[in-house]
Amino acid sequence: MLRMIGQRLMTTIPSVIGVIIVTFLLTRVLPGDTAAYFAGPAASPQAIIEIRSKLGLDQPLPVQFVSYVAALVKGDLGTSLTTGQAVTKDLAARLPASAELTLAGLILAMAVALPLGVLAAVKQGSWIDHLCRIVATAGVSLPVFFTGLLLVYVFYFILGWSPAPLGRLDVFASEPPRITGLFLVDTLLARDFETFRGALAQLILPAVTLAIFSLAPITRMTRASMLAVLGADFVRTARASGLTDGKVIGTYAFRNAMLPVVTTLGMVFSFLLGANVLVEKVFAWPGVGSYAVEALIASDYAPIQGFVLTMAILYVALNLMIDVLYGVIDPRVRLEG
């Protein structure tokens, strides 16, 4: 197992190097002049040139790249010009927010999608199968900003059940002591149940929005993969040996059907992590997605590079986790590793 993880890590090195080069070049070819933006609309050309040389932007590209990589090795992702903070600090502050939202959305989606997909496959053609189809189609055809706004309209504006969609915590509440960065976990660790409730109330609507969107692929994949496994010979053997339906479906069919579902989960997770900008915007969620978009609009190189690099590394780590999970589920994969 260790050997497999080691080998998989080795193969990711070239892709990380590629990501570093590509993000560097991409941010350089994007239109917009950082120095001009930073100097403000009233700045004189002289001032802009000064700022440019201060930022090192007057150097040739290779020189800029070398200094970028040299800083990177030291763990320095540069400084954001808009927030004035180190990018690593900004990301460290915002990544847990995105992670908490995405994880909550994904767990919610799994909690609905897996049983729904399994039931739809077991009772093929029944009302639950049709429900599964409707949920999947609706979830994927409603854009997240629309679902998000609709939920806010209904549950905050009309019913008043949920708090104002303004970030992770009520403005007057204080943040829990920072341990993992996930508010739900930190408040529990600090035994601060009131803040926990507050954080949960803030989290529910955006998480549901994400969950509705990611329901579709998980449900469909679970259903298809369960159907294939239920038709397999070994399920027939299990039935013919008198095992209960619960045992046949739970232990025999479901575990075998998990492999493609795990792959889909990984894809959905990495997609959500980077792409939930719209949800973050609607709910004023201080995540990395909105941070990157703001930096992009300001032609602020360092945060964009930092964001893309972080995403790439997260993606690599996620894929590694999925590979390990494969080995746990399927002994045949262990052998090949």
Q: Is position 11 an interface residue for another protein (rule: CB under 8 A)?
A: no
Degrees to nearest 5, angle at CA 212 with 205 and 293: 70
Q: How far apart are CA 44 and CA 50, in angstroms?
A: 10
Which residue of 26, 244, 313, 317 would you call a contact of another protein, by CB under 8 A?
244
Which residue of 24, 196, 252, 283 would you call a contact of another protein, by CB under 8 A?
252
Site string for another protein, 93-132 (x = CB under 8 A): -------------------------------x--------
Q: How far apart are CA 112 and CA 28, in angstroms?
A: 44
Amino acid at 157: F
Q: Is position 330 an interface residue for another protein (rule: CB under 8 A)?
A: yes
CB of 242 to another protein, least distance (A): 3
Nearer to another protein, 87 or 258 (CB): 258
CB of 236 to another protein, least distance (A): 6
Q: Is position 142 an interface residue for another protein (rule: CB under 8 A)?
A: no
Nearer to another protein, 294 or 330 (CB): 330
**Number of residues counted as binding another protein (CB under 8 A):** 25
Q: Is position 241 an interface residue for another protein (rule: CB under 8 A)?
A: yes
Q: How far apart are CA 45 and CA 240, in angstroms?
A: 84
Q: How far apart are CA 278 and CA 139, in angstroms?
A: 16
Q: Is position 238 an interface residue for another protein (rule: CB under 8 A)?
A: yes
Part in contact with another protein (CB under 8 A); list of ranges 215-223, 232-240, 275-283, 286-294: 232-240
CB of 124 to another protein, least distance (A): 8
Nearer to another protein, 3 or 74 (CB): 3
Q: Is position 53 an interface residue for another protein (rule: CB under 8 A)?
A: no
Part in contact with another protein (CB under 8 A); list of ranges 30-38, 126-134, 145-153, 251-259: 251-259
Which residue of 3, 31, 74, 84 would you call a contact of another protein, by CB under 8 A?
3
Which residue of 73, 158, 191, 233 would you call a contact of another protein, by CB under 8 A?
233
Nearer to another protein, 239 or 281 (CB): 239
CB of 231 to another protein, least distance (A): 8
CB of 228 to another protein, least distance (A): 13
Which parts of this chain interact with another protein (CB under 8 A)?
3, 6, 124, 232-234, 236-244, 247, 251-252, 255-256, 329-332, 335
